[in-house]
Amino acid sequence: MILEKKRVTSTNELAEAWLRTHAAEPLPSFFRADEQTAGKGRRGRIWASPVGGLYMTAAFDTSGEKESLLQPLRCAALIHRELVSAGLKRLFIKWPNDLYVGSRKLGGLLSRRIVISGKGVLLVGIGINVRQSALPPEAISLEEVWSKKTPDPATIFHSWIPLLGREMSRLEIVNYLNAHLWSRGEYARLKTPEGEINAIILQVNEDLSLSVMRTGGKRERLLLGEIL
Protein backbone atom coordinates (compact mmCIF):
# COMPACT_ATOMS: atom_id res chain seq x y z
CA MET A 1 0.00 0.00 0.00
CA ILE A 2 1.23 3.49 -0.90
CA LEU A 3 -0.17 6.71 0.54
CA GLU A 4 1.05 10.24 -0.24
CA LYS A 5 -0.06 13.54 1.29
CA LYS A 6 0.83 17.19 0.79
CA ARG A 7 1.29 18.16 4.45
CA VAL A 8 1.29 16.07 7.66
CA THR A 9 2.58 16.33 11.20
CA SER A 10 4.91 13.42 10.44
CA THR A 11 4.83 10.43 8.12
CA ASN A 12 5.26 8.12 11.14
CA GLU A 13 2.06 9.52 12.65
CA LEU A 14 0.33 9.25 9.27
CA ALA A 15 1.44 5.62 8.96
CA GLU A 16 0.36 4.66 12.48
CA ALA A 17 -3.06 6.30 12.13
CA TRP A 18 -3.67 4.64 8.77
CA LEU A 19 -2.54 1.20 9.89
CA ARG A 20 -4.61 1.30 13.08
CA THR A 21 -7.68 2.09 10.96
CA HIS A 22 -6.82 -0.50 8.29
CA ALA A 23 -5.39 -3.28 10.45
CA ALA A 24 -5.67 -5.88 7.68
CA GLU A 25 -3.56 -3.79 5.28
CA PRO A 26 -0.69 -5.96 3.95
CA LEU A 27 2.87 -4.99 4.79
CA PRO A 28 5.22 -3.50 3.84
CA SER A 29 3.34 -0.24 3.30
CA PHE A 30 4.83 3.11 2.33
CA PHE A 31 3.86 6.67 3.24
CA ARG A 32 5.21 10.03 1.99
CA ALA A 33 4.49 13.72 2.47
CA ASP A 34 5.74 16.83 0.71
CA GLU A 35 6.11 18.56 4.07
CA GLN A 36 6.11 17.65 7.77
CA THR A 37 5.10 20.14 10.44
CA ALA A 38 6.38 18.09 13.40
CA GLY A 39 9.06 15.75 12.08
CA LYS A 40 11.27 14.18 14.74
CA GLY A 41 14.81 12.85 14.89
CA ARG A 42 16.54 10.85 17.61
CA ARG A 43 15.65 11.57 21.24
CA GLY A 44 12.69 13.72 20.19
CA ARG A 45 14.77 16.31 18.34
CA ILE A 46 12.96 18.36 15.71
CA TRP A 47 13.68 17.35 12.11
CA ALA A 48 13.18 20.40 9.89
CA SER A 49 10.93 19.23 7.05
CA PRO A 50 10.20 21.98 4.49
CA VAL A 51 9.00 21.29 0.96
CA GLY A 52 11.82 19.87 -1.16
CA GLY A 53 12.95 17.00 1.04
CA LEU A 54 12.03 13.33 1.00
CA TYR A 55 9.94 12.46 4.07
CA MET A 56 8.68 8.90 4.15
CA THR A 57 7.86 5.98 6.41
CA ALA A 58 8.12 2.30 5.53
CA ALA A 59 6.06 -0.06 7.69
CA PHE A 60 7.30 -3.65 8.08
CA ASP A 61 6.14 -6.78 9.87
CA THR A 62 8.39 -7.32 12.87
CA SER A 63 8.60 -10.27 15.22
CA GLY A 64 10.45 -8.59 18.07
CA GLU A 65 12.37 -5.69 19.54
CA LYS A 66 15.69 -6.87 18.06
CA GLU A 67 14.56 -5.79 14.60
CA SER A 68 14.07 -2.20 15.74
CA LEU A 69 17.72 -1.47 14.93
CA LEU A 70 18.30 -4.11 12.25
CA GLN A 71 15.58 -2.89 9.87
CA PRO A 72 16.64 0.79 9.70
CA LEU A 73 20.27 -0.26 9.23
CA ARG A 74 19.20 -2.60 6.41
CA CYS A 75 17.32 0.32 4.85
CA ALA A 76 20.34 2.59 5.34
CA ALA A 77 22.62 0.07 3.64
CA LEU A 78 20.23 -0.35 0.69
CA ILE A 79 19.79 3.42 0.27
CA HIS A 80 23.54 3.97 0.55
CA ARG A 81 24.25 1.35 -2.10
CA GLU A 82 21.62 2.87 -4.41
CA LEU A 83 22.99 6.41 -4.08
CA VAL A 84 26.59 5.29 -4.55
CA SER A 85 25.64 3.33 -7.67
CA ALA A 86 24.03 6.56 -8.95
CA GLY A 87 27.37 8.35 -8.57
CA LEU A 88 27.25 9.91 -5.10
CA LYS A 89 30.78 9.98 -3.68
CA ARG A 90 32.12 10.10 -0.10
CA LEU A 91 28.83 8.83 1.30
CA PHE A 92 29.03 7.17 4.73
CA ILE A 93 26.70 5.54 7.24
CA LYS A 94 26.98 7.14 10.66
CA TRP A 95 26.05 4.65 13.38
CA PRO A 96 23.30 4.14 14.28
CA ASN A 97 21.04 5.99 11.86
CA ASP A 98 22.44 8.77 9.65
CA LEU A 99 23.81 9.23 6.15
CA TYR A 100 26.69 11.69 5.69
CA VAL A 101 28.46 13.10 2.66
CA GLY A 102 31.89 13.80 4.06
CA SER A 103 31.26 15.70 7.29
CA ARG A 104 27.76 16.94 6.34
CA LYS A 105 24.45 15.25 7.05
CA LEU A 106 22.39 14.10 4.08
CA GLY A 107 19.64 12.32 5.97
CA GLY A 108 18.60 10.03 8.77
CA LEU A 109 16.48 7.02 9.64
CA LEU A 110 14.50 6.43 12.81
CA SER A 111 12.45 3.40 13.83
CA ARG A 112 9.57 2.85 16.24
CA ARG A 113 7.85 -0.42 17.01
CA ILE A 114 4.09 -0.48 17.58
CA VAL A 115 1.56 -3.28 18.08
CA ILE A 116 -1.64 -3.37 16.02
CA SER A 117 -4.21 -6.11 16.64
CA GLY A 118 -1.55 -8.16 18.40
CA LYS A 119 0.90 -7.88 15.50
CA GLY A 120 4.25 -6.10 15.72
CA VAL A 121 4.81 -3.36 13.13
CA LEU A 122 8.05 -1.47 12.71
CA LEU A 123 7.80 2.07 11.36
CA VAL A 124 11.03 3.20 9.72
CA GLY A 125 10.99 6.94 9.14
CA ILE A 126 13.38 8.19 6.46
CA GLY A 127 14.32 11.80 5.83
CA ILE A 128 16.64 12.83 3.00
CA ASN A 129 17.67 16.35 1.99
CA VAL A 130 16.84 16.56 -1.70
CA ARG A 131 15.93 20.04 -2.99
CA GLN A 132 15.40 22.25 0.06
CA SER A 133 16.10 25.91 -0.63
CA ALA A 134 17.93 26.50 2.66
CA LEU A 135 19.85 24.13 4.91
CA PRO A 136 22.15 24.68 7.90
CA PRO A 137 25.87 24.58 7.02
CA GLU A 138 26.33 21.18 8.65
CA ALA A 139 23.78 19.63 6.24
CA ILE A 140 23.92 18.86 2.53
CA SER A 141 21.31 18.07 -0.12
CA LEU A 142 21.35 15.82 -3.17
CA GLU A 143 20.77 18.90 -5.33
CA GLU A 144 23.99 20.47 -4.03
CA VAL A 145 25.86 17.38 -5.21
CA TRP A 146 23.95 16.54 -8.39
CA SER A 147 22.55 19.96 -9.42
CA LYS A 148 19.98 19.68 -12.24
CA LYS A 149 20.26 15.89 -12.37
CA THR A 150 18.52 15.54 -9.00
CA PRO A 151 15.14 13.76 -9.18
CA ASP A 152 12.23 15.22 -7.22
CA PRO A 153 11.37 13.60 -3.85
CA ALA A 154 8.28 11.81 -5.18
CA THR A 155 10.31 10.16 -7.95
CA ILE A 156 12.94 8.99 -5.46
CA PHE A 157 10.21 7.67 -3.14
CA HIS A 158 8.63 5.52 -5.83
CA SER A 159 12.00 4.19 -6.98
CA TRP A 160 12.87 3.21 -3.40
CA ILE A 161 9.71 1.20 -2.72
CA PRO A 162 11.00 -1.97 -4.45
CA LEU A 163 14.50 -1.19 -3.17
CA LEU A 164 13.45 -1.26 0.49
CA GLY A 165 11.78 -4.64 0.03
CA ARG A 166 15.09 -6.34 -0.76
CA GLU A 167 16.45 -8.74 1.83
CA MET A 168 19.91 -8.58 3.39
CA SER A 169 21.20 -11.02 5.98
CA ARG A 170 22.46 -9.69 9.30
CA LEU A 171 26.03 -10.56 8.26
CA GLU A 172 25.64 -8.71 4.95
CA ILE A 173 24.32 -5.65 6.79
CA VAL A 174 27.16 -5.67 9.33
CA ASN A 175 29.82 -6.13 6.65
CA TYR A 176 28.33 -3.34 4.55
CA LEU A 177 28.15 -0.96 7.51
CA ASN A 178 31.80 -1.58 8.36
CA ALA A 179 32.86 -1.01 4.76
CA HIS A 180 31.16 2.41 4.76
CA LEU A 181 31.23 3.40 8.43
CA TRP A 182 31.58 7.13 9.14
CA SER A 183 34.77 8.00 11.09
CA ARG A 184 35.98 4.39 11.30
CA GLY A 185 39.49 4.36 12.74
CA GLU A 186 39.19 7.97 13.91
CA TYR A 187 38.55 9.66 17.23
CA ALA A 188 34.98 10.84 17.72
CA ARG A 189 32.81 12.23 20.48
CA LEU A 190 30.06 9.84 21.52
CA LYS A 191 26.99 10.16 23.70
CA THR A 192 26.43 7.09 25.91
CA PRO A 193 23.94 6.34 28.72
CA GLU A 194 26.77 7.17 31.15
CA GLY A 195 27.67 10.47 29.50
CA GLU A 196 29.91 11.74 26.70
CA ILE A 197 33.20 10.04 25.86
CA ASN A 198 35.97 10.43 23.27
CA ALA A 199 37.03 7.22 21.58
CA ILE A 200 38.26 5.68 18.34
CA ILE A 201 35.50 4.13 16.22
CA LEU A 202 36.44 0.50 15.58
CA GLN A 203 33.54 -1.43 14.05
CA VAL A 204 29.90 -2.45 14.13
CA ASN A 205 29.44 -5.90 15.64
CA GLU A 206 27.02 -8.69 14.74
CA ASP A 207 24.62 -7.58 17.49
CA LEU A 208 24.74 -4.09 15.88
CA SER A 209 26.61 -2.61 18.83
CA LEU A 210 29.52 -0.27 18.13
CA SER A 211 33.02 -1.18 19.30
CA VAL A 212 35.17 1.78 20.35
CA MET A 213 38.56 2.19 22.01
CA ARG A 214 39.13 4.85 24.62
CA THR A 215 42.42 6.61 25.31
CA GLY A 216 44.64 4.08 27.05
CA GLY A 217 43.44 1.16 24.94
CA LYS A 218 40.25 0.23 26.80
CA ARG A 219 37.70 -1.28 24.42
CA GLU A 220 33.95 -0.98 24.88
CA ARG A 221 30.79 -2.04 23.09
CA LEU A 222 27.98 0.48 22.83
CA LEU A 223 24.47 -0.71 22.02
CA LEU A 224 22.84 2.51 23.13
CA GLY A 225 24.20 5.92 22.21
CA GLU A 226 25.25 7.90 19.18
CA ILE A 227 28.25 9.48 17.50
CA LEU A 228 28.14 13.25 17.91
In the CATH scheme, what is the code of domain 187-227?
2.30.30
pTM of the model: 0.92
Q: Are 205 and 221 a contacting pair, CB within 8 Å?
A: yes
**187-227 matches 2-179 in CATH topology:** no
Has domain 2-179 been given CATH number 3.40.50.1370?
A: no
pLDDT digits (tens, 9 = 90+) for 97-152: 899 999 999 999 999 999 988 888 999 999 999 998 788 899 999 999 987 789 99
Do the strands 2-8 and 29-36 form a parallel or antiparallel pair, or are they unpaired? parallel
Distances (CA, A) of 67 to 42, 46, 70, 168, 185: 17, 24, 5, 13, 27
More confident residue, 34 or 68: 34
Q: Are 222 and 96 a contacting pair, CB within 8 Å?
A: no
pLDDT digits (tens, 9 = 90+) for 170-226: 999 999 999 999 999 999 999 988 889 999 999 999 999 999 999 888 999 998 888
Q: Where are the domains of the chain?
A: 2-179, 187-227
